[in-house]
Structure 1
Amino acid sequence: MYRLIILLFLALPFSGFTQTVATGAVFDYNKKTLSLPGVTVRNLTTKKTSTTNNAGKYTIGANVGDLIEFTLVGYHTDTLYLTNLLNRTIYLPVKSNSLSDVDITAVKMNKEILNAKDPLAEKYTLLNTGGNLDRKRMKDKVGGLNLNLGYGKYKRQQRKEADLEEREGYLQEIDYNFTEKAVTELTKLEGEELKNFMIIYRPSVEQVKAERPYRYAFYISRAFYAWKKLTPQQRKLQDLPKLKAN
C-alpha cells in the first residue's frame, strides 16, 4: 500500500514539468547596456502574455516553433521564432520621426552690407522676342522667358532613370538579405520546400520601401508562421496551364 502511494506521489509532479518556458532579457538597440522594463512579451502561438521586470528580464511559457512578440511604446516591435529554448537577448530600436536638433547662433549683420547691390548683377534684362525683331531692352527686374520644348521630356527621362536605379537598389537589398541561408537558419526548411517558400514569400520592392529599415528576420518569421498554416497542396507552386495545340 505504501509503495503504491509513493509511486503515485512521484508520478504526479512530472506532468507539471512538461511545460517549457522561454527566458531572456530586452535591451535598447542603440544603448546596448540599457535594459527595458515593462516590455510586453506575447506568445502569438499560445496567446500567453508576460512583461519584463525592472532588469529587463522575461519568462514566458513557450515551445520550439512558437512565435514570440516584443512590444514597448516608443520602440519598434520585434518578433522571435523559437528554434530552441536557449536564453535570448532582444534589442529593440527606438522609433524616431523627429529631426535632429539644430543649434542656431544669431549673427549681427551690417545694414549697409544687407542693402548693398550685387556689383556683378546686370542692370537690364534682355528679352528674346524672336523673328526679325531686334532685342528689346527691358528696364524692369523681371527675367526674360526662354522656352525649351525638350526640357520637359528630359526631366521625365531623368525621373524614370532615377526610379529604375532606386528599384534596382531595393532588389539588390532583397537579394542580399532574403537568402536560402537566412531562411534556413530561421525556419529549418530545405530542398523543394525551401525553394517554394522563397518564391511564394519573397518580399516585394513596395513592401521593403514602405518600412525603413526593413526587418528581414521579422518578416521571415511571420511568413513561416503563415506557411505552416498552408495545406501541402498550397505549399507547392502551381503549374502553368498548357497551351492548346493549333
Structure 2
Amino acid sequence: MQCSRLISAYSTEFSCKALHVITLFFWFAVPTVSAGAYPTPLAQQDTALTGYVLELESGEPLPNVEIKNLATGVLAESRADGQFTIPVKKNQRLQFEYPGYRTDTLVVIEFDIKRVYLTSDGSAIRIDEVQIQAMTDTRLAAEIRRAEEEGQFTETSQRRGGVRISPSRWFGNEGRQARQRYKQLLAEQERRKIDARFTPEIIRSLTPLTDEDLELYMTKYRPTVGFLSTASDADLRLYIMDTYAAFKKLTPEQRAEIKAPKTDNP
C-alpha cells in the first residue's frame, strides 16, 4: 500500500515536470510576429496595369490619350499603338481624356489587359495637316463620313420622322468647319490613292529620272484620281512615258517654275 502511494506521487511529479518542459518548448519554438511582419495583401500593392485605348467607331488606336489614376494623381499617356501602362490598386478608378472624345472612367477590378473604347463627343474640331497625314486609312474614312454628316444641310431624325431641313447646320459655325474639314480629309484620301500608284519606283523603272529631276517630274505631271480610277497599269505606263517625253523638252526656266502639283492632267 505504501509502495503504491510512492509510485503515484512519483508519477504526479513526473507529469508536472513533463508539462512544464512542453510549455517551455512551445514558448521558445513559436516566434513572436509583430503587426508589421505580415505581408501586405495584393490588393494594397500597386500593380502595373496594361491596356489599349481605341476609337469605338473605327477600332483604330488612339495615341496621346491622357490616363489618370484618380486616387493617386499618377498620369500616363497612350503610345502610337494605343497601348498604355499605369500603376494602380484594385478598386481604384482610371480616367481617360482625349480632345474631341467623351471623358470616360474605368474601375479596376482585375489586372488583365484592358481595351478601352472612347466615343466622339460630337464637337467640330479643326484638324491640321500633320494630324490628317498621321491617320490610318480606316480612321481617315471614318472622319470623312463624320465630317460629311456634320456639314449636311439636312439631317435624319427618327424622333421627328424622316429627313428635315436644318438651316442652322448649314449656316452655323460648326457646319462650316465640318465642310472645310471634309474637304481637307477628302484631299488627303485622294492624295493617298494617287501615291499608291504613281510611285517613284514605277517612274524609275520606265525613265532615268532621279533626285531633283524625279521630284520635279512627279510634281508637274501628277495624275488625277479620276484618271487613275479608270486607268489600267498599261495606261499608267504609257502616261508616264508620254509625260517624260514632254518633261525632257522643258527649259530650265520652265523647270524652275514648277512649285506645286497640278490636277489638270488626264
| Higher alpha-carbon Rg | 2
Shorter-chain TM-score tier: 0.3 to 0.5
Relative to total residues, which structure has the larger helix share, 1 or 2? 2
Q: TM-score, normalised by structure 1?
A: 0.33
